[in-house]
């Protein structure tokens, strides 16, 4: 059993027919924290600013770096099970984007590399990557998938994320490297731009 979270922008009923942005959490949070982190408010704000509507969905993937571990496979859950749960709610799973931070940013990139074309875009906030890891060695698999990269200048991962930006087969389509640490105080400042990026990528 896992916690499963969904959010629909205010004024859009049950979200039927809307595309989906899948959220992959970092190591210190789970899907049970998404409401308190304000994801629904960020989503509604983007739509009220005129961006095309979409829904958010995410489930708890433990602290497995969104990779298979023994009998548990959180990556398969995101790729197969969560879209099925979303279709049961009437969401449009033919249009999917990915958003994650820290460990979840790594997982979002890993999933997009493992299944090219699955996601229309990836938002990675301070992804926990390092040169030579799976994300770097399979970076060419991201060709054709717009990637948004954000990382704070006071984050210990900054050099790694900058290196990833250079290693991508195409330059990042969105993102910034501004003042901020590896925490939700910084990521919450990035989310409005991240939501806008997702919204445009999921536009029909």
- Mean pLDDT score of the chain: 98
Q: What angle do CA 96, 185, 124 make, to 5 degrees?
A: 30
Architecture of domain 4-123+181-201: 3-Layer(aba) Sandwich (3.40)
pLDDT for 11: 98
Q: What angle do CA 8, 106, 72 make, to 5 degrees?
A: 80
Backbone angles phi, psi at 24, to 5 degrees: -115, 120
* Structure confidence by residue, pLDDT tens digits, 115-131: 999 999 999 999 999 99
Q: Give the closest residue to 158 by CA, choosing from 175, 139, 137, 140.
A: 175
* Structure confidence by residue, pLDDT tens digits, 86-99: 999 999 999 999 99
* Structure confidence by residue, pLDDT tens digits, 26-75: 999 999 999 999 999 999 999 999 999 999 999 999 999 999 998 899 99
pLDDT for 204: 85
Structure tokens given for 63: 């602290």
175: enclosing H helix or E strand? strand 174-176
Q: Is the pTM of this model over 0.85?
A: yes
Rg over alpha carbons for the chain, rounded to the nearest Å, is: 15
* Structure confidence by residue, pLDDT tens digits, 187-197: 999 999 999 99
pLDDT at residue 82 tops 90: yes
Helix 39-48 × helix 184-201 angle, to 10°: 50
* Structure confidence by residue, pLDDT tens digits, 144-178: 999 999 999 999 999 999 999 999 999 999 999 99
């Amino acid at each position: 059993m896992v916690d499963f979270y969904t959010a629909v922008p205010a004024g859009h009923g049950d979200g039927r027919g809307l595309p989906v942005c899948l959220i992959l959490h970092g190591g210190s949070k789970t899907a049970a924290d998404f409401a308190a982190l304000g994801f629904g408010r960020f989503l509604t704000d983007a739509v009220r600013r005129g961006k095309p509507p979409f829904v958010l969905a995410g489930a708890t993937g433990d602290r497995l770096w969104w990779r298979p571990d023994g009998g548990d496979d959180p990556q398969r859950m995101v790729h197969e099970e969560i879209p099925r749960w979303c279709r049961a709610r009437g969401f449009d799973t033919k249009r999917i984007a990915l958003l994650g931070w820290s460990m979840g940013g790594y997982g979002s990139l890993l999933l997009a590399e493992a299944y090219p074309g699955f996601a229309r875009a990836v938002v990675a906030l301070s992804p926990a990557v390092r040169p030579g890891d799976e994300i770097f060695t399979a970076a060419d698999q991201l060709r054709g998938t717009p990637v948004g990269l954000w990382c704070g200048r006071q984050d210990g991962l900054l050099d790694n994320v900058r290196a990833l930006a250079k290693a991508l087969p195409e330059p990042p389509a969105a993102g910034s490297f501004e003042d901020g640490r590896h925490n939700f105080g910084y990521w919450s400042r990035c989310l409005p731009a991240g939501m806008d990026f997702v919204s445009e990528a999921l536009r029909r």
